[in-house]
Structure 1
Amino acid sequence: MAGMERELLPFLENISSYSDDVFYAFVKEFVGDVESEILEIQRIKDVRILLQVPDVFIFLQINSKDILKLKERACFVTNDLQYIVRPGIKSNLEQFIETLRKYYKSTSTNENFVSSQTTTNAIKETTHSIC
């Protein structure tokens, strides 16, 4: 069992009941501050929504003053002013999401919920995300 899975195991049964501030606080504690902010700014307020979002980093492609500070914290800025998600942040969130998917897929008996989990392939398996 991977490190994150081991850490989250005692909480996985209850995390589906976490919403809004409780969910963000949980993500902040177990995944990271910036990772929590990435979810909060998008109003991904619970596990159900999180598992339905195909790419939690896509919003970083938007040019908006509302997300500029977060982009500067979450990304590297290249000389040609492109933003690339920091590998640690990308890995943390993807590992968290994958752990949740595995858990809910293995415990779910609801066919509709399981079929919604097949969005795993939607997360791009590139070495970096350009924002």
Structure 2
Amino acid sequence: MPLKKPFIDTNFLPRDVFTYQDEQFYDFVSTCIGHKQADLLKFEEISSAQIYLTCGNVLDILKLESSDLIPFKESLCLKLNNNSFKVLPGVESSFIYLTELLSKKRNEVTNSITQKLNHRASSNIAAATNIATSDNITSSAISTASISTQSQSDIVTHNIVTTPDQHRQLINRAIEEWVLKNKNKFGDQDLKLIQGVDYDIYITVNPNKAVIRCNCGIKATLRHIRNNYQASDQI
């Protein structure tokens, strides 16, 4: 019966393990799987976790005929009667474990960053679409985008629009204006919300409803009420 793949627990790994370089990385490897393995990585100039994960099998170098490799062959391998060397099972398994450990950690870090970016994008989209509750988005005028109530002097009036494309353009313009006004609040001068990348706008043929959908799955519905587009209570 085949052995079950062991559970890989990354909880003990430092959060910044992928920033480790040179001696800090070798100290980590030494603590994790052994100083002999760390010495081999140092000899191979594998100086970080990212480099390690792109190197393939780091034990392949021991197949080469070089006097410089004899100390590593003697410490990591079994010398056979024909003077050839066979990597010890524990050594081979330790590098397999290290690869799986760092690969899993990298995936966790990547997923965490992706979730944070998606949450940030969805929050920005939701806030941008909520402008309809304080500034009417109408078929004849769209107010300057804002999540707080603004004075009448802030309202920007546009020509009467009748087609879904015209409505879509004006909603896009309102979102762009909201982003410009709220960059400082989010502490991000590079903040952008791009249609087709961060969100899409869908307008029914009537058009009595507009849907703004974030690419992370969050959506907001703007309903056509008394000639106005107003945000639905549910996002």
Please indicate, yes or no, whether the TM-score normalized by the shorter chain is above 0.5. Answer: yes
Could you tell me the percent identity over the aligned residues?
Answer: 24
Aligned partner of residue 78 in structure 2, secondary structure:
strand
Runs (4 or more) in structure 1 with deviation over 3 Å come to none
Aligned partner of residue 19 in structure 2, secondary structure:
coil
Q: What is the one-letter code of the residue matched to 2:13?
A: F
Q: What does residue 106 of structure 2 align with?
A: 104
Shift of 1:12: 4.0
Q: What is the one-letter code of the residue matched to 2:34?
A: G
Q: Does 1:46 align with 2:52?
A: no
Q: What does residue 55 of structure 1 align with?
A: 57
Q: What is the one-letter code of the residue matched to 1:83?
A: F
Contact 1:12 1:103 in 2 (8 A): no
Q: How does 1:2-13 map to 2 (within 5 A)?
A: 2=7, 5-6=8-9, 8-13=10-15
Q: What does residue 68 of structure 2 align with?
A: 66
Paired residues, what number?
Answer: 108
Pick from 85, 88, 103 the counterpart of residue 87 of structure 2: 85
Q: What does residue 217 of structure 2 align with?
A: none
Distance 2:31 2:56 in 1: 23
TM-score by length of 1: 0.74
Aligned partner of residue 86 in structure 2, secondary structure:
strand
Could you say which structure has the higher helix fraction? 1
Distance 1:106 1:70 in 2: 33
TM-score by length of 2: 0.43
Q: Does 1:23 align with 2:25?
A: yes
Contact 1:71 1:83 in 2 (8 A): yes
Aligned partner of residue 13 in structure 1, secondary structure:
coil
Distance 2:69 2:108 in 1: 36
Q: Which has the higher contact order (CA 8 A, sep 6+)?
A: 1
Contact 1:12 1:100 in 2 (8 A): no
